Chain A
Amino acid sequence: NAGVTQTPKFQVLKTGQSMTLQCAQDMNHNSMYWYRQDPGMGLRLIYYSASEGTTDKGEVPNGYNVSRLNKREFSLRLESAAPSQTSVYFCASSVGFSTNEKLFFGSGTQLSVL
Protein backbone atom coordinates (compact mmCIF):
# COMPACT_ATOMS: atom_id res chain seq x y z
CA ASN A 1 0.00 0.00 0.00
CA ALA A 2 2.07 2.94 -1.29
CA GLY A 3 -0.52 5.69 -0.65
CA VAL A 4 1.00 9.02 -1.71
CA THR A 5 4.49 8.86 -3.19
CA GLN A 6 6.66 11.94 -3.65
CA THR A 7 9.97 12.27 -5.43
CA PRO A 8 12.64 13.34 -4.83
CA LYS A 9 13.08 13.13 -1.07
CA PHE A 10 15.81 15.79 -0.98
CA GLN A 11 16.92 18.43 -3.48
CA VAL A 12 19.41 21.27 -3.50
CA LEU A 13 19.06 23.97 -6.16
CA LYS A 14 20.88 27.13 -7.04
CA THR A 15 18.92 30.35 -7.34
CA GLY A 16 17.32 30.54 -10.77
CA GLN A 17 17.31 26.80 -11.46
CA SER A 18 14.09 25.01 -12.25
CA MET A 19 12.76 21.69 -11.08
CA THR A 20 9.61 19.61 -10.87
CA LEU A 21 8.41 17.75 -7.79
CA GLN A 22 6.49 14.61 -8.64
CA CYS A 23 3.55 13.16 -6.75
CA ALA A 24 1.44 10.08 -7.38
CA GLN A 25 -1.35 8.44 -5.39
CA ASP A 26 -2.75 4.94 -5.80
CA MET A 27 -5.93 5.35 -3.76
CA ASN A 28 -8.15 6.47 -6.65
CA HIS A 29 -8.61 9.86 -4.97
CA ASN A 30 -10.15 12.71 -6.93
CA SER A 31 -8.47 15.64 -5.18
CA MET A 32 -4.78 16.40 -4.78
CA TYR A 33 -2.86 19.18 -3.06
CA TRP A 34 0.57 20.73 -2.66
CA TYR A 35 1.55 22.24 0.69
CA ARG A 36 4.72 23.81 1.97
CA GLN A 37 5.85 23.58 5.59
CA ASP A 38 8.02 26.23 7.16
CA PRO A 39 9.10 26.41 10.82
CA GLY A 40 6.52 28.13 12.97
CA MET A 41 4.08 28.54 10.08
CA GLY A 42 2.32 25.21 9.83
CA LEU A 43 1.24 23.95 6.45
CA ARG A 44 0.27 26.40 3.73
CA LEU A 45 -1.58 25.41 0.59
CA ILE A 46 0.21 26.23 -2.66
CA TYR A 47 -2.10 24.76 -5.29
CA TYR A 48 -4.77 22.13 -5.41
CA SER A 49 -6.68 20.07 -7.94
CA ALA A 50 -10.22 19.35 -6.82
CA SER A 51 -10.67 16.88 -9.66
CA GLU A 52 -8.83 15.65 -12.72
CA GLY A 53 -8.59 18.43 -15.26
CA THR A 54 -8.86 21.30 -12.78
CA THR A 55 -6.27 23.23 -10.76
CA ASP A 56 -6.66 26.22 -8.47
CA LYS A 57 -4.43 28.55 -6.51
CA GLY A 58 -4.07 28.14 -2.81
CA GLU A 59 -2.75 30.50 -0.19
CA VAL A 60 0.83 30.89 -1.50
CA PRO A 61 0.91 30.16 -5.28
CA ASN A 62 3.47 32.74 -6.43
CA GLY A 63 6.57 31.21 -8.02
CA TYR A 64 4.92 27.82 -8.62
CA ASN A 65 2.99 26.04 -11.33
CA VAL A 66 1.20 22.72 -11.23
CA SER A 67 0.00 20.05 -13.63
CA ARG A 68 -2.64 17.43 -12.95
CA LEU A 69 -1.25 14.92 -15.42
CA ASN A 70 -3.98 12.34 -14.81
CA LYS A 71 -6.06 11.18 -11.87
CA ARG A 72 -3.01 9.68 -10.15
CA GLU A 73 -0.37 12.33 -10.69
CA PHE A 74 -0.01 15.97 -9.64
CA SER A 75 3.31 17.74 -10.18
CA LEU A 76 4.66 21.01 -8.79
CA ARG A 77 7.10 23.08 -10.82
CA LEU A 78 9.47 25.82 -9.72
CA GLU A 79 10.43 27.73 -12.86
CA SER A 80 13.12 29.92 -11.28
CA ALA A 81 13.91 28.86 -7.73
CA ALA A 82 14.47 31.50 -5.06
CA PRO A 83 15.91 31.13 -1.54
CA SER A 84 12.45 31.96 -0.15
CA GLN A 85 11.27 28.67 -1.63
CA THR A 86 13.53 26.69 0.70
CA SER A 87 10.99 24.55 2.53
CA VAL A 88 9.58 21.08 2.99
CA TYR A 89 6.96 20.31 0.37
CA PHE A 90 4.11 17.86 0.93
CA CYS A 91 1.76 16.40 -1.59
CA ALA A 92 -1.60 15.18 -0.29
CA SER A 93 -4.77 13.64 -1.63
CA SER A 94 -8.37 13.17 -0.52
CA VAL A 95 -11.32 11.19 -1.83
CA GLY A 96 -13.02 14.39 -2.89
CA PHE A 97 -12.87 18.09 -2.20
CA SER A 98 -15.91 17.95 0.08
CA THR A 99 -14.06 15.41 2.22
CA ASN A 100 -10.78 17.26 2.16
CA GLU A 101 -10.42 17.10 5.93
CA LYS A 102 -9.23 13.53 5.50
CA LEU A 103 -5.97 14.26 3.77
CA PHE A 104 -3.40 11.59 3.06
CA PHE A 105 0.09 13.04 2.88
CA GLY A 106 3.28 11.90 1.21
CA SER A 107 6.52 11.84 3.20
CA GLY A 108 7.73 15.17 1.89
CA THR A 109 10.49 16.73 -0.23
CA GLN A 110 13.09 18.79 1.55
CA LEU A 111 14.20 21.55 -0.85
CA SER A 112 17.08 23.93 -0.28
CA VAL A 113 17.66 26.85 -2.64
CA LEU A 114 21.11 28.42 -2.33
Chain B
Amino acid sequence: GQQLNQSPQSMFIQEGEDVSMNCTSSSIFNTWLWYKQDPGEGPVLLIALYKAGELTSNGRLTAQFGITRKDSFLNISASIPSDVGIYFCAGRGEETSGSRLTFGEGTQLTVNP
Protein backbone atom coordinates (compact mmCIF):
# COMPACT_ATOMS: atom_id res chain seq x y z
CA GLY B 1 0.00 0.00 0.00
CA GLN B 2 0.92 3.64 -0.18
CA GLN B 3 3.16 5.07 2.52
CA LEU B 4 3.71 8.59 3.73
CA ASN B 5 6.84 9.59 5.59
CA GLN B 6 6.43 12.72 7.64
CA SER B 7 9.30 14.60 9.24
CA PRO B 8 10.32 15.64 11.71
CA GLN B 9 8.46 13.47 14.22
CA SER B 10 8.63 16.23 16.83
CA MET B 11 9.78 19.83 17.12
CA PHE B 12 10.46 22.04 20.12
CA ILE B 13 10.66 25.72 19.23
CA GLN B 14 10.51 29.14 20.81
CA GLU B 15 7.56 31.43 20.26
CA GLY B 16 8.16 33.63 17.23
CA GLU B 17 10.24 31.10 15.32
CA ASP B 18 9.29 29.76 11.91
CA VAL B 19 8.55 26.05 11.47
CA SER B 20 8.91 23.74 8.49
CA MET B 21 7.76 20.16 8.12
CA ASN B 22 7.39 17.89 5.14
CA CYS B 23 5.86 14.73 3.86
CA THR B 24 7.05 12.35 1.16
CA SER B 25 5.21 9.59 -0.60
CA SER B 26 6.34 6.38 -2.25
CA SER B 27 3.95 7.09 -5.12
CA ILE B 28 2.27 9.98 -6.89
CA PHE B 29 -0.54 11.79 -5.12
CA ASN B 30 -3.15 13.99 -6.78
CA THR B 31 -4.28 15.66 -3.56
CA TRP B 32 -2.24 16.73 -0.55
CA LEU B 33 -3.75 17.85 2.73
CA TRP B 34 -2.56 19.20 6.04
CA TYR B 35 -4.53 18.65 9.23
CA LYS B 36 -3.91 19.87 12.78
CA GLN B 37 -4.92 18.02 15.92
CA ASP B 38 -5.23 19.96 19.15
CA PRO B 39 -4.74 17.99 22.38
CA GLY B 40 -7.83 15.92 23.17
CA GLU B 41 -9.56 16.77 19.90
CA GLY B 42 -9.94 15.35 16.42
CA PRO B 43 -7.91 16.66 13.46
CA VAL B 44 -9.08 19.77 11.63
CA LEU B 45 -8.30 20.48 7.98
CA LEU B 46 -5.88 23.39 7.53
CA ILE B 47 -5.00 23.40 3.84
CA ALA B 48 -5.91 21.33 0.78
CA LEU B 49 -3.70 21.25 -2.36
CA TYR B 50 -4.86 19.92 -5.71
CA LYS B 51 -2.18 20.76 -8.30
CA ALA B 52 1.54 20.11 -8.57
CA GLY B 53 3.44 23.27 -7.68
CA GLU B 54 0.45 24.83 -5.94
CA LEU B 55 1.28 27.13 -3.04
CA THR B 56 -1.57 27.94 -0.66
CA SER B 57 -1.69 30.05 2.49
CA ASN B 58 -4.03 30.08 5.45
CA GLY B 59 -3.01 32.93 7.74
CA ARG B 60 0.50 32.21 9.01
CA LEU B 61 0.46 28.76 7.40
CA THR B 62 1.73 28.07 3.90
CA ALA B 63 1.71 24.68 2.20
CA GLN B 64 3.08 23.55 -1.13
CA PHE B 65 2.28 20.63 -3.42
CA GLY B 66 5.63 19.36 -4.65
CA ILE B 67 6.44 19.40 -8.36
CA THR B 68 7.16 15.68 -8.37
CA ARG B 69 3.70 15.07 -6.81
CA LYS B 70 5.43 12.87 -4.24
CA ASP B 71 5.93 15.47 -1.53
CA SER B 72 4.40 18.39 0.28
CA PHE B 73 5.64 21.02 2.72
CA LEU B 74 4.02 23.01 5.50
CA ASN B 75 5.52 26.19 6.90
CA ILE B 76 4.30 28.10 9.93
CA SER B 77 5.62 31.61 10.36
CA ALA B 78 6.03 33.48 13.65
CA SER B 79 4.81 30.61 15.81
CA ILE B 80 2.56 31.27 18.81
CA PRO B 81 1.67 29.00 21.76
CA SER B 82 -1.68 27.98 20.24
CA ASP B 83 0.21 26.38 17.33
CA VAL B 84 0.95 23.48 19.69
CA GLY B 85 -0.47 20.19 18.46
CA ILE B 86 0.08 17.36 16.03
CA TYR B 87 0.26 18.20 12.34
CA PHE B 88 -0.69 15.46 9.90
CA CYS B 89 -0.14 15.35 6.21
CA ALA B 90 -2.52 13.24 4.17
CA GLY B 91 -2.80 12.39 0.53
CA ARG B 92 -4.99 10.78 -2.02
CA GLY B 93 -3.22 8.98 -4.82
CA GLU B 94 -4.12 7.83 -8.28
CA GLU B 95 -3.82 4.22 -7.24
CA THR B 96 -5.55 4.52 -3.90
CA SER B 97 -8.36 2.05 -3.66
CA GLY B 98 -11.66 3.87 -3.51
CA SER B 99 -9.86 7.20 -3.31
CA ARG B 100 -9.11 6.71 0.36
CA LEU B 101 -6.80 9.07 2.17
CA THR B 102 -3.41 7.99 3.50
CA PHE B 103 -2.17 9.81 6.61
CA GLY B 104 1.38 10.51 7.70
CA GLU B 105 2.60 9.67 11.19
CA GLY B 106 2.30 13.25 12.39
CA THR B 107 4.66 15.98 13.62
CA GLN B 108 4.27 16.90 17.29
CA LEU B 109 4.92 20.64 17.67
CA THR B 110 5.73 22.23 21.02
CA VAL B 111 6.04 26.01 21.28
CA ASN B 112 7.76 27.47 24.32
CA PRO B 113 6.52 30.95 25.29
Contact = CB atoms under 8 A, between A and B. Distances in A.
B1 A97 contact: no
Interface string A8-52: 000000000000000000000000000000001111110010100
B7 interface: no
Contact of B92 (A42, A59, A101, A105): A101
A107 B41 contact: yes
Interface string B18-52: 00000000000001010100001111110010000
Nearest to A91: B42
Interface residues of A, number: 24
A101 B48 contact: yes
A105 B38 CA distance: 12
The interface size bin for chain B is 20 to 34
Given A42-B88, A42-B105, A101-B31, A92 B99 contact: no
B94 to A, nearest CB: 14
B113 interface: no
A1 interface: no
Interface string B88-105: 101010000011110111
Interface in B72-93: 88, 90, 92
A42 B42 contact: no
A55 to B, nearest CB: 12
B9 interface: yes
